[in-house]
Amino acid sequence: MHLLFSLSLLLALLHVTSCLLIGAFNIKQFGDKKSSNTSLIDVISTYKYIVSEPLGRSTYQEQYLFLYTEQTVSVVKNFTYDDKMDAFSREPFVVILTSTECLTYPKALNWSLVSFLSCSPAVKDFVLIPQHTSPDSAVKEVNSLFDVVTDVRARWNTNNILLMGDFNAGCSYVSGADWQQIRLFTDKSFHWLIKDDVDTTDCGHS
Ligand SMILES: *[C@@H]1O[C@H](CO)[C@@H](O)[C@H](O)[C@H]1NC(C)=O
Ligand SMILES: *[C@@H]1O[C@H](CO)[C@@H](O)[C@H](O)[C@H]1NC(C)=O
Ligand SMILES: *[C@@H]1O[C@H](CO)[C@@H](O)[C@H](O)[C@H]1NC(C)=O
């Protein structure tokens, strides 16, 4: 596992009793210091993983890392979004997973964790689209996730798709009026699991 890139988004799939939990967070500067922390590595190394290539337009690059428990899910396919319009600094690394659990509609427990409660109607395969936007182009990048969803639907013929940030969709990066330019917001077939009144922001740190 490459550990030496400046910043990564970490997506963890945890199995807790009878539901599947999914969380996404920015682990920021996962370099020598964090990767030599044995208590941290002891925890991380109990998971299986799939990781993207280093992504970025310059020498500053990031990776998307999915950690998951093998008893609960397995990775079926993956691809890195073909970003022809160069909309993203770090184009999404998309995975489709299959679960041993039967899943229903997801619900947010809080700003960082989503749970899928069992059971019918069952969803077995689901897609995760991660995205860490560049704060200064967050409006454009969040809007462009619509095109990634369109690509995934055509490619894998599924609508079981969960998009996960760090979207930087707050602070001064995405303001009230900007939402009208964001198709994930204006197209009401998308459901936002984390409500607008939840404080997910840490303005000043991207
Ligand atoms: C190692 O990581 C843990 C969190 O998992 C943290 O509490 C601890 O302070 C870190 N140790 C060092 C030496 O950075
Ligand atoms: C990801 O997809 C590529 C291209 O299809 C494939 O070669 C690779 O084995 C996949 N990686 C994993 C871990 O499934
Ligand atoms: C989110 O909810 C989970 C499950 O209840 C809890 O363990 C975790 O600490 C919560 N995280 C935050 C950031 O509130």
CATH number at residue 174: 3.60.10.10
Among residues 91, 132, 191, 205, the one annotated as catalytic is: 132
Q: Which of 17, 110, 111 to mutate to test the pocket of ligand 3 (most atoms within 8 A of CB)?
A: 110
Can you give the residue range of the structural domain that contains 135?
A: 69-106+118-186
What residue has token string 């190394």? 45
Provide the domain count of the chain.
Answer: 1
The answer to the question of residue 92 being in a domain is yes
Q: CB of 128 within 8 A of CB of 94?
A: yes
Q: Is 132 a catalytic residue?
A: yes
Closest residue (by CA) to atom 2 of ligand 1?
40
pLDDT reported for residue 4: 39
**Pocket flag, ligand 3, residue 112 (CB < 6 Å):** yes
The answer to the question of residue 45 being in a domain is no
Burial class (CB in 10 A: 0-12, 13-18, 19+), 112: middle
The average pLDDT across 130-151 equals: 96
Instruction: Report which secondary-structure segment, H or E, holds 117.
Output: strand 113-117
Burial 27-41 (b: 16+ CB within 10 A, else e): ebebeeeeeeeeeee
- Is the pTM above the cut of 0.85? no
The answer to the question of residue 173 being in a domain is yes
pLDDT band at 12 (very low <50, low <70, confident <90, very high): low
The answer to the question of residue 194 being in a domain is no
CA dihedral 49, 11, 105, 15 (to 10 degrees): 60
pLDDT band at 149 (very low <50, low <70, confident <90, very high): very high
Q: Is the pLDDT confidence value at 121 over 60? A: no
Cα of first residue to Cα of last residue in the chain, in angstroms, is 24
